[in-house]
Amino acid sequence: MIGKKINNRYEVLSVLGKGGMAVVYLALDRDEDREVALKVLSEAAEGWSERVLRFQREFKLCQQVDHPNIIKLHDFGKVGDSSYFTVMDVIEGYDLQSVIDGEGALEEKFVLNLAKGLAAGLAALHKVPIVHRDLKPANIMLVEDEDGEAASRPVIMDFGLARSVNVTALTATGTLLGTPYYMSPELALGERADERSDIYQLGVILYEALRGKRPYKAHSIEELFRNIVSKDPVAISTLKPELAHWNIFLQRCMAKEPKERYQSMGQVEEALRALELGEIVERCGAIASVAKAYKAPEERVLFAKGLRAKRKRDNKRYLVWVPIVCLLVLFYVLFRSEGAVVY
């Protein structure tokens, strides 16, 4: 493949990476005189037609999104008579999985910026609406800055399992999709997944970035799926007490039931802003139960208003009792004084 010219336009220069479904090459776009990434679908007898459909769908879906945190695809076509290709921007940087594997737990400020970038990109996807369904650190590239260090702008890659919410999925219910460690409970059960599945996977990625390890250990795929479906991960504060303010956010993202998670990326972004400003509702724990603290961002506003109203009612009760107590004290003093005179 090296040295070949695809569609009389893209000259293949070298291999950038290989995956289960495709090989990515560095190529020179002769028409635009710039380097691009050329993703060529690997030939396989088994499931070939479905692979081609997924490949075509990936291109069509990505064409609908223009966002700095989402990979941009430019072209699609055939390689001879046997395969297909897509053309995308060359991303200079490292994938998040390599960074975590090399450094372990990442700095909180870096993870917060990572979370904001991913949430912004996913919000743009969901607006189309598109569900990614295979978010994982290996699918997230960190763009390098001018100094050659990983900057805070993550770029979401690989939309092979993405689907539009408005179309029927290629894979029937009951078939597992995605990378096992990052599957939401509904994906692990082979059920239909919506935007809230991406929210779960985002939570798992951020948990791993903060801890340096994935939420669950397992000796088999069956044990892993049991944990994902029925076992809560260890709270991040148990392992890192200085990150206790992340507890509620991560637990909410990784709730087993979709209805108990944040219901949109907009809510996730709002929660991240609160986390950044130090306004996370965990500080209300001394007054309210943990269950109340798990409310959605807009519900927390109502909850805070409720607390203020309760304080006002308590103050009114206090003001009512003050004059009554004063009168009782006055009667007591007068009674003692009269008694002393008689005696």
DSSP letters, 253-314, are HT-SSGGGS-SSHHHHHHHHHHHHTT--GGGGGGTS-HHHHTS-HHHHHHHHHHHHHHHHHH
Give 139-147 contacts, CB < 8 A, sequence gap 24+: 139/95, 140/95, 140/96, 140/97, 140/205, 141/71, 141/91, 141/93, 141/94, 141/95, 141/96, 142/93, 142/94, 142/95, 142/96, 142/99, 142/114, 143/91, 143/92, 143/93, 144/92, 144/93, 144/94
Which runs of consecutive H residues, i.e. helices, occur in the chain?
48-62, 96-103, 108-127, 185-188, 195-211, 221-230, 236-239, 247-253, 265-276, 290-293, 297-342
d(CA 320, CA 317): 5
Residue 101 CB neighbours (<10 A): 12
Tokens of 138: 């290996």
d(CA 73, CA 60): 9
d(CA 66, CA 280): 31
d(CA 237, CA 243): 5
Tokens of 320: 């009512």
Amino acid at 79: V
In the residue annotation, 134 being an active-site residue is answered as yes
Amino acid at 312: K
Tokens of 209: 């970035």
Which one of the listed residues 75, 81, 134, 145 is annotated catalytic? 134
Tokens of 103: 């450094």
Return the bridge partners of 178, or none.
none
Q: What is the DSSP letter of 153?
A: E
- Any idea which residues carry the catalytic annotation? 134
